[in-house]
Every structure is written in structure tokens, then in C-alpha cells.
């Protein structure tokens, strides 16, 4: 009876072990399952989870080409994406730096234009000041020359008769003749007036 019970127990253990093996085979995943899971994660942009799934599959199926190829593709795409992101960041930095340089150049240009305008204004004011000073100097110089001329005229002695005649381009003889002629004309004019005054008026005619 005991022997029979032991035999039945051994048979039960074998049955249980068989079902355990079946259950293990049922829950075990094939390389295709890992590939499909990893590919699905990759489609939904979960690259790191996809790589982890592939590594798990390769640990069980190290020679599976599908998992190996998928891993290489994901790593390549990930590297390209990182490079693209780095390039974009570098481009953004260059654009920002270029923008700052352009702003700095604009500021420098505005400052230069402002300084140039101020310089032009100062030059114009200086030119006007110089012109006013020159006009003032010329006016003062003209007044000084006029004063000096007046002073010279006052200091000069009166001109003699001969000097005056020389200025008129006349000799003393010609001047004497002119004076004699003027004197004779004056005497004749006086005599004629006296004759008219002594002549008797006509009695038949009115005085007027």
C-alpha cells in the first residue's frame, strides 16, 4: 500500500513539472516578440525603452540579426538626432551672437553719427564765431584807420597858395590872370548897374 502511494506521488510530480514546463513555454517571449515591442516603442519615440527591450532580447537571443539591426538603426537615428540638435543649438548661438553683433554695430554707428553731427555743429559754431571775430576785427581796423587818417589830417599844416595851385594844376601866372579877369568882369558888372540907375526915366512912360 505504501509503495503504491509513493508511485502515485511520483506520477503527480511529473505531471506538475510537465505543466510548469508548458507554462514556462507559454510565458516565454521569442526574439520576434522583443523585436515587435522594441519597434513599437521606437515608433512612439521611446528610443531608450526600445533599446532596453532589445538588450533584453539580445541577452536571450544574442545572434538574432533583426534585434541587432534594429538596435543599430535606433542608435544611428539617436546619434543623428543628437547631432542635429547640437547643430541647431550651435546655429541658435551663432544667430544670437550675430544678432548681438549687429545690434552693437548699429549702436556704434548711431554713436558715430551722433558724434559726427556734434562735431559738424561745433565746426559750424566755430566758423560763425571766427567770421564774427573777423568782421569785428575788420570793423575795428577800419575805425582805427579812419581815426589815424583824421589825426594825420589834423596834424598836417594848412596848404600854401602854391600847393593849392599845384593840386589844381595851375601856375601862379595863370591863377593871377584868372583872378584879374574875374575882377574886371566884376567891375564891368558894377559899372553897368550904376549907369542903369543914373539914366532918367521917360516922362511919357510910367515908372513901372
CA distance 153 to 167: 16
pLDDT at 206 over 70: no
> Of the ranges 16-20, 56-60, 135-139, which one carries the lowest mean pLDDT score?
16-20
pLDDT at 92 over 90: yes
* pTM > 0.75: no
Q: Is 34 in contact with 56 (CB distance < 8 Å)?
A: yes
CA distance 83 to 13: 59
Instruction: Pick the more confident residue, 172 or 192.
Output: 192
Q: Is 47 in contact with 78 (CB distance < 8 Å)?
A: yes
To the nearest 10 degrees (0 to 180), the angle between helices 65-155 and 47-60 is 150
Instruction: Kindly report the number of other CB atoms within 10 A of residue 57's CB atom.
Output: 25
Q: Is 70 in contact with 38 (CB distance < 8 Å)?
A: yes
pLDDT at 13 over 70: no
Q: Is 39 in contact with 66 (CB distance < 8 Å)?
A: no
List, in sequence order, the alpha helices (H) in the chain.
2-27, 31-43, 47-60, 65-155, 161-167, 172-198
Mean pLDDT of the chain: 78
Q: Is 3 in contact with 19 (CB distance < 8 Å)?
A: no
pLDDT at 25 over 50: no
Q: pLDDT tens digit string along 34-47?
A: 999 999 999 998 88
- Chain length of the chain: 208
pLDDT at 10 over 60: no
Confidence at 26, pLDDT banded by 50, 70, 90? very low
Q: Is 74 in contact with 50 (CB distance < 8 Å)?
A: yes
pLDDT at 134 over 90: no
Task: Please compute the mean of the pLDDT values over residues 168-185 and round it to a whole number.
Answer: 78
pLDDT of residue 139: 80
CA distance 71 to 85: 21
pLDDT at 19 over 50: no
Amino acid at each position: 500500500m505504501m509503495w503504491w502511494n509513493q508511485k502515485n506521488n511520483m506520477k503527480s510530480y511529473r505531471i506538475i513539472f510537465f505543466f510548469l514546463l508548458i507554462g514556462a513555454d507559454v510565458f516565454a517571449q521569442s526574439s520576434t516578440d522583443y523585436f515587435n515591442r522594441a519597434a513599437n516603442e521606437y515608433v512612439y519615440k521611446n528610443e531608450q525603452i526600445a533599446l532596453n527591450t532589445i538588450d533584453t532580447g539580445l541577452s536571450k537571443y544574442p545572434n538574432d540579426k533583426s534585434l541587432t539591426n534594429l538596435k543599430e538603426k535606433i542608435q544611428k537615428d539617436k546619434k543623428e538626432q543628437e547631432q542635429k540638435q547640437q547643430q541647431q543649438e550651435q546655429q541658435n548661438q551663432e544667430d544670437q551672437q550675430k544678432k548681438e553683433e549687429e545690434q552693437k554695430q548699429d549702436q556704434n554707428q548711431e554713436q558715430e553719427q551722433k558724434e559726427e553731427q556734434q562735431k559738424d555743429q561745433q565746426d559750424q559754431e566755430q566758423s560763425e564765431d571766427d567770421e564774427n571775430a573777423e568782421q569785428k576785427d575788420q570793423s575795428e581796423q577800419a575805425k582805427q584807420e579812419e581815426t589815424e587818417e583824421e589825426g594825420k589830417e589834423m596834424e598836417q599844416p594848412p596848404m600854401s597858395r602854391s600847393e593849392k595851385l599845384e593840386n589844381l594844376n595851375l601856375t601862379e601866372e595863370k591863377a593871377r590872370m584868372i583872378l584879374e579877369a574875374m575882377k574886371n568882369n566884376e567891375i564891368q558888372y558894377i559899372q553897368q548897374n550904376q549907369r542903369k540907375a543914373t539914366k532918367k526915366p521917360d516922362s511919357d512912360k510910367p515908372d513901372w
